[in-house]
Structure 1
């Protein structure tokens, strides 16, 4: 057929059958004699026929409802970026009948997550995107969605218990290991390193446990026993409570020379250290939030690891659509790069993000 696009009519002509018969074989509907079906399948293979999936999706009037279950950005500005990524992806895909509905929950209250997850289940969407930050609470929903054959994609927090369609985000263990390596670069003598979790029940947050394990393993696997790692789960119900917790930690551990913040809240530690005029502590944190960038640029934060939350949102909808609409195979894992951000290169990442907006 040279380079011509092969059509159903071409297949029918070669097989000496009607186009309708070829269509029934392709879509496995209606009865076709076994010998005829075998002949058509052989010709399809010989002629390397590829259906025009995009044209078919455009001509279809089917609507696909996707539920997005994510934290409300009013509680934590980090969540603005994945929502923006999903909306950017939707602009490219809504022509195929895609509809997205957001369900926002309080990221600091498990009951809020459960309530919104119940709403998602009642609405019976064709697919679900979520960040499962409450491990125990999400598992029953995974089981229910599996039984209902609703594909779901996870981002930011990887949980493999019920085999989601795909996970998009960083390898949390390697991310923590990298943070250990970065913080070690700035330490010249034995000291204490603070590993700080913010406003999270770590035992119910799988991604933070993996970051912690990776961080600690960097030091143990490299025989760096001279560094004492102090773990702290910090809450911030109000500013006075936060300052009290930090005063207690630093007064009782005056040899702290490094802080690893496992969430996007490294600016909280940086602000505290600036106010206390403590300038000899290296801080490693996550994400290009405006407050984090301020302290990165004034050298209070040494490094930020970019988790690319906008990309996480974008790829979540893209992969779910590949499965729902185009029936493509999608990767079980799509790990995004571990970008190391410094004062010197941060503008390149900010400009790149603006260009992709």
Structure 2
């Protein structure tokens, strides 16, 4: 039997429709043996009519051709954003075996530019057939992508897009629009003259990720278009240093008592939320990103006003599967596979789990 888009059509059916033998159809489909031009034309016309697409997965398995994909992503611990992304990679990996595709993971420190640089240097010595790339450090991703273009290696972007690159596809939200959504969620709850604190996690050797910059651009654009009269105050915070962060924020709120809103552009809004909870600051509205455990706890407790989510598991899964389908079947995905921008509140967060 052979596959087409809508039905299962047998070789004997193709032979009957073309008025030739089954053996002749078999030679055409599998490109073996000679066939007269007249018979070839009749068979190809029938194949076109039934929208025939060869079962390239079976053909790949039969040929023994194997592929290797590399996934370039940040290191993580369970409960963090990239753990959900990895769950999508693992789900796709389980299915990729039918394509003769193996998946390898290469991880870097998302808060250290040099870590990513070192990883790219190591990857230049690796052989692989496709790549899923988290684009946090866009300035280094772009030249690496050009190298992959030169090697003929297809690649998919996740986390945030870099449209200037020749990527096979992008899977993720529009980071700019996600920034606009966060601004509206926050601004609609504030007086237009209130100040807003922006929590930034200190990066080593870099001002921040590509996605955070794009989100902030969208955030600012919304405020500019809606008569925001307050000020944005930036707080440089550290991961896992509660005492340091407390001192920074205490001083900021002392100097700027009109702060009534807060936002972070990555998945660490639990840091600001923890501070607000410890200081019993119920007068500050906080919006953040991503449904990770610590953020979810703060949202359920009412400390976080809203979370903007982007389905990382789906990004990982679709990135791997798009490369599998392209390498084995020659099936190209849409260039941009935008994910929904989900808005999570205290009232609906329990329905999001497992979905």
For normalisation by structure 2, the TM-score amounts to 0.88
Query: What do the CA deviations read for 1:69-116 (whole angstroms, capped 9, x no partner)?
Result: 111104992211111111012222323212111111111222221222
CA distance in 1, matches of 2:29, 2:21: 13
CA distance in 2, matches of 1:153, 1:4: 31
The corresponding residue for 1:80 is 83
CA distance in 1, matches of 2:70, 2:62: 23
Q: Residue 205 of structure 1 is aligned with which of 209, 216, 236?
A: 209
CA contact (8 A) 2:170 2:337 kept: yes
Q: Residue 65 of structure 1 is aligned with which of 68, 73, 78?
A: 68
Alignment map for 1:274-285 (pairs within 5 Å): 274-285=277-288
Between 1:26-35 and 1:286-295, the stretch displaced more is 26-35
Query: What do the CA deviations read for 1:219-241 (whole angstroms, capped 9, x no partner)?
Result: 2222x232333344444484443
Number of aligned residues: 349
CA distance in 2, matches of 1:115, 1:28: 46
Q: Residue 252 of structure 1 is aligned with which of 252, 255, 258?
A: 255
SS in 2 for 1:160: coil
CA distance in 1, matches of 2:123, 2:32: 32
CA distance in 2, matches of 1:239, 1:25: 69
When residues 76 and 143 of structure 1 are mapped into structure 2, their CA distance, relative to the original with a 3 A threshold, is farther
SS in 1 for 2:153: coil
What is the root-mean-square deviation in Å for CA atoms of aligned residues?
2.8
Deviation for aligned residue 1:255: 0.7
- Determine if the alignment matches structure 1 residue 215 to structure 2 residue 224: no
The corresponding residue for 1:325 is 328
The corresponding residue for 1:286 is 289
**Structure 1 segments unaligned to the other structure (5+ residues):** 353-357
Deviation for aligned residue 1:287: 1.3
SS in 1 for 2:131: strand
- Determine if the alignment matches structure 1 residue 296 to structure 2 residue 296: no
CA contact (8 A) 1:67 1:120 kept: no
The corresponding residue for 1:309 is 312
The corresponding residue for 2:3 is none
Between 1:325-334 and 1:90-99, the stretch displaced more is 90-99
SS in 1 for 2:267: coil
**Structure 2 segments unaligned to the other structure (5+ residues):** 1-5
CA contact (8 A) 1:136 1:204 kept: no
CA distance in 2, matches of 1:283, 1:208: 16
Deviation for aligned residue 1:30: 8.1
Deviation for aligned residue 1:127: 0.8
SS in 2 for 1:269: helix
The corresponding residue for 1:355 is none
Query: What do the CA deviations read for 1:292-335 (whole angstroms, capped 9, x no partner)?
Result: 12211221111011121112111111212121222212011111
- Determine if the alignment matches structure 1 residue 186 to structure 2 residue 220: no
Query: What do the CA deviations read for 1:101-137 (whole angstroms, capped 9, x no partner)?
Result: 1111111222221222233332211111120211112
When residues 203 and 40 of structure 1 are mapped into structure 2, their CA distance, relative to the original with a 3 A threshold, is farther
Alignment map for 1:49-60 (pairs within 5 Å): 49-60=52-63
CA distance in 2, matches of 1:75, 1:105: 16
